[in-house]
């Protein structure tokens, strides 16, 4: 290979640029969307890149405009728990390992986290986990059937602290209505944040949906349940005195 020849991009390299589908207006202009994330294309380590390149066929799913067949994907009828924004995937892999009677589906737009999650799943020999590197709203809208999820997990999403950016928060009434359509009766919504203003916003948004029942005895927040492993980010925040608010609601059709 000439010293001036660029090495061929691998699957993992290409994946960094495909987190959403392009949409256009009727006159052909690109439709700008308010997104709940900023795509930070951090460097993929060789370890993360190799995990994605070698094991995507086992762990990765791609966006599709028809619903996933979860029974075929996982090889069983166990409930599917969706987690949006799993970061580096440590707690998601731990939950999947600790709950073999559940299937887990994680969505994350940042490829280093996706690669790290796949690598850890391989290391821990976890088979009940699949990951997607794509815009979660598009996946929910197009790729997940109605009444097909056993639960939704949303832990420490970007709080978009400034008031002018609150519209970018993923937890909005429209998002909750979309999730509600995808949950089976008795399915759960479990959220956690370390930003009190966002916790209050989450609580109000969830409580305004008449089909969601708060599982808190005080009708607000619950202590962190044992089945949600604390993240390194969360533990660091707690050492600094930061609070954490967990919300847990059940959907009743």
Q: Is residue 182 part of a domain?
A: no
Does position 199 have pLDDT exceeding 50, yes or no? Answer: yes
For residues 82 and 189, give the distance between their C-alpha atoms in angstroms, rounded to a whole number: 10
Average pLDDT, the chain: 88
pTM for the predicted model, two decimal places = 0.85
Q: Is beta strand 183-193 parallel, antiparallel or unpaired with respect to 212-214?
A: unpaired
Task: Place 204 in a pLDDT band, splitting at 50, 70 and 90.
Answer: very high
Give the Å distances, CA to CA, from 97 to 59, 110, 121: 14, 23, 9
Q: Locate the DSSP E strands across 5-79.
A: 60-61
Q: Tell me: the pLDDT tens digits for 67-76?
A: 999 999 999 9
162 is in an annotated binding site: yes
Instruction: Give the pair of three-digit tokens for residue 42.
Output: 């951090």
Query: Which CATH number do you get for residue 65?
Result: 3.40.50.150
In 3D, which of 84, 39, 66 has the Cα closest to residue 175?
A: 84
**Residue 247, pLDDT above cutoff 50:** yes
Instruction: Return all residues near 225 (Cβ < 8 A) that are at least 6 apart.
Output: 246, 248
66 is a domain residue: yes
* Domains held by the chain: number: 1
Q: Is 231 annotated as a binding residue?
A: yes
194 labelled as ligand-binding? yes
Catalytic positions: 158
Residue 165 lies in a domain: no
CA–CA dist 235, 149 (Å, integer):
29
Average the pLDDT over 187-196 and give the result. Answer: 96
Q: Which domain range does residue 134 map to? A: 6-145
pLDDT band, very low/low/confident/very high, at 26 (cuts 50, 70, 90) = low
- The pair of structure tokens assigned to 219 is 């009708």
196 part of a folded domain: no
* Residue position matching structure tokens 């960094």: 16
233 is in an annotated binding site: yes
Residue 157, domain member (yes or no): no
3-state secondary structure of 198: helix
Q: Note whether residue 134 is domain-resident.
A: yes
Does 83 appear as a known binding residue?
Answer: yes
Is the pLDDT confidence value at 147 over 70? yes
Are 86 and 103 contacting, i.e. CB atoms less than 8 angstroms apart? Answer: no
Residue 49 counted as domain residue: yes
């Amino acid at each position: 290979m000439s010293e001036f020849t660029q090495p061929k991009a691998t699957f993992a390299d290409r994946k960094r640029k495909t987190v959403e589908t392009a949409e256009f207006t009727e006159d052909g202009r690109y439709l700008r969307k308010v997104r709940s994330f900023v795509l930070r294309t951090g460097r993929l380590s060789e370890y993360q890149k190799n995990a994605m390149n070698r094991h995507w066929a086992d762990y990765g799913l791609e966006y599709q405009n028809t619903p996933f067949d979860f029974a075929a994907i996982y090889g069983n009828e166990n409930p599917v728990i969706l987690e949006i924004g799993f970061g580096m995937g440590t707690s998601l892999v731990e939950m999947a390992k600790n709950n073999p009677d559940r299937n887990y589906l994680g969505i994350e737009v940042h490829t280093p986290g996706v690669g790290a999650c796949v690598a850890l799943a391989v290391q821990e020999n976890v088979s009940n986990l699949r990951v997607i590197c794509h815009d979660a709203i598009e996946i929910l809208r197009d790729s997940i059937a109605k009444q097909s999820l056993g639960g939704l997990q949303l832990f420490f999403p970007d709080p978009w602290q400034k008031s002018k950016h609150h519209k970018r928060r993923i937890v909005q009434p429209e998002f909750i209505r979309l999730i509600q359509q995808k949950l089976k009766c008795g399915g759960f919504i479990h959220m956690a944040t370390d930003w009190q203003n966002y916790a209050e916003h989450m609580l109000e948004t969830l409580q305004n949906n008449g089909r969601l029942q708060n599982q808190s005895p005080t009708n607000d927040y619950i202590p962190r349940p044992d089945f949600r492993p604390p993240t390194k980010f969360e533990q660091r925040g707690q050492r600094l005195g930061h609070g954490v608010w967990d919300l847990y609601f059940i959907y009743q059709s």
